Structure 1
Amino acid sequence: MVEESAENVVPATAAGKKAKPAASDAPATDTPAPSGAETPAEKTVPPKKEKPPAVEAKPFIDFIQQDYLPALTQALVAKGITDLQVDLERSKIAIKGFETAPECNQVIGRWDRGSRQFNVYFFDDSIQGQRAISCVDGAHKASTLESFLIDERKITLDLLVSGVVLRLNSQKWLLRN
């Protein structure tokens, strides 16, 4: 008969199953990992690619002149507006009742030989601040100042452009119904 030594006997658990050998019971290997293979501790996590800053993060004047004016011009020309001139100006609001209001930055668009004009007002010199819009046709002065994109949490270039296009379309200046 084979004698059972204490080394060969695995103690049984309470449920009658054999217990797993402890980690110290596992045979030690002195063989190194093959070259090129990484052990779990040596695995390197590739660095996360940083997103480039959004164009909206630029200083206000740079954003308006470098990004907003060209994008707005392109969108309005695509809708069929000819002889369009879009500029950024700092001036008083030319609406009755706002004579004493301080100057603010305004994106002013003119076309149809200057007979149609819209103004987008940036009161806080920030695209995330308070904004308004007005439209005027012919030789009249604008009489209404409307809030512009007030329900939006984050203002983006595309949102500013589409907001003006939608407002001018509502004015029936872009497409006829």
Structure 2
Amino acid sequence: MKLTLSHIDTPTGPMMMLLDDEKRVRLLEWVDHQARMDRLLARHYPKTSFSVSEETPPERYDQAIHAYFAGEINALDALPIAFGGTVFQRTVWQALQTIPAGRTLSYGQLAARIGNPKGMRAVGLANGANPIALIVPCHRVIGANGTLTGYGGGMERKHWLLRHEGSLPQNLL
């Protein structure tokens, strides 16, 4: 698979984006989580070889990401994505995309939404394996009691993103 790697500066730190040859986002992750990126690629595409070239981000993608951080919290919605992963992971990641900006769901609510109300832990694991930060908004999933739970990009970023989107639980403001 041919991928292009781009770097984008954001208020939460520099990010890296991998696009496939059809210009679909395959991965969006913070640069300081390079090891996580490598693990996710190996897990989600186990029998795939990659060639990665580096280039500046396409203007449309760069503009959408900067617009999101400038306050247009729906600016990422139109970016095309593609994921590997298992069928269950893809189901969870598709459900994550239905959580509107400015809203949150608990792991239990997300599990119920995909028809597996007792699958909270499995949903949590799939959520944690999401390779496409922000566009597939795994940061919008919180604990049932309104607490912030783990986030691949780090808890400070999760707090920042939810505050930025206006969905930080009242007890954490």
What TM-score does the superposition give when structure 1 sets the normalisation length?
A: 0.25
Highest CA radius of gyration, 1 or 2?
Answer: 1
> Higher relative contact order at CA 8 Å, sep ≥6: structure 1 or structure 2?
2
What TM-score does the superposition give when structure 2 sets the normalisation length?
A: 0.25
